[in-house]
């Protein structure tokens, strides 16, 4: 079987993901993680330009995020052009999407492999601790090693990212999950 699932070391943990046009990979992530299909996956975009192009965020909000000093996931709506490009978003009923930006959460070594948006979630079974090493990923997904493509790099060992959302078109933040600043 050809590798469908990317193992992606991020600044907080190791994630697993697939391309946004890979329906089989998308379904496989849910199977591998024992994840509830009602719980959507985040999307990792390669660059800030991709985030601006694909979402309804304003340039001012993007600039605000560029200076945000903690690991973050931004929740926002996507543009219709992006939905048209990736019909799986509508088929799986993604109304709002949780985005991470590769430029902020991946090492340069890992980022060089991310050329298109990916569905992304933490590499763990539902309800279990996140993986921070490739050995942990191999242990958790030992029966499915043949479908994993491990990208180079080292994961951070930080708490999960803050999940934030802008209030309308302002730069005021609403926190959905706040792990930073550390308590």
CATH code of the domain containing 15 = 3.90.870.10
Contact 15, 124 (CB under 8 A): no
In a domain, 155, yes or no: yes
In a domain, 182, yes or no: no
In a domain, 17, yes or no: yes
What digits encode the pLDDT tens for the residues 142-169? 999 999 999 999 999 999 999 999 999 9
Contact 117, 45 (CB under 8 A): yes
Peptide bond just before 182 cis, omega within 30 deg: no
pLDDT attached to residue 2: 66
Q: How far, CA to CA in Å, does 125 sit from each of 24, 36, 74, 134, 136? A: 18, 11, 23, 15, 11
| Model pTM score | 0.95
In a domain, 133, yes or no: yes
In a domain, 146, yes or no: yes
Domain housing 27: 5-177
Tens of each residue's pLDDT in the chain, 183 residues: 466 899 999 999 999 999 999 999 999 999 999 999 999 999 999 999 999 999 999 999 999 999 999 999 999 999 999 999 999 999 999 989 999 999 999 999 999 999 999 999 999 999 999 999 999 999 999 999 999 999 999 999 999 999 999 999 999 999 999 999 965
In a domain, 94, yes or no: yes
In a domain, 61, yes or no: yes
Q: What is the count of structural domains for the chain?
A: 1
């Amino acid at each position: 079987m050809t590798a469908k699932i990317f193992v992606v070391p991020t600044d907080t943990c190791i994630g697993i993901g697939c391309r946004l046009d890979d329906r089989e990979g998308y379904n496989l992530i849910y199977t591998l993680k024992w994840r509830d299909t009602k719980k959507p996956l985040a999307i990792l975009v390669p660059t800030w330009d991709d985030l601006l192009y694909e979402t309804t965020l304003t340039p001012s909000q993007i600039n605000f995020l560029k200076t945000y000093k903690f690991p973050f996931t931004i929740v926002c709506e996507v543009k219709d052009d992006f939905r048209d490009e990736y019909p799986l978003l509508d088929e799986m009923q993604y109304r709002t999407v949780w985005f991470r930006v590769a430029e902020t959460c991946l090492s340069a070594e890992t980022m060089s492999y991310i050329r298109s948006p990916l569905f992304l979630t933490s590499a763990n079974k539902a309800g279990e601790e996140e993986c921070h090493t490739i050995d942990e990923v191999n242990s958790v997904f030992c029966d499915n090693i043949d479908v994993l493509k491990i990208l180079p790099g080292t994961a951070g060992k930080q708490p999960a990212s803050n999940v934030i959302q802008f209030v309308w078109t302002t730069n005021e933040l609403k926190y959905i999950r706040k792990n930073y600043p550390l308590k």
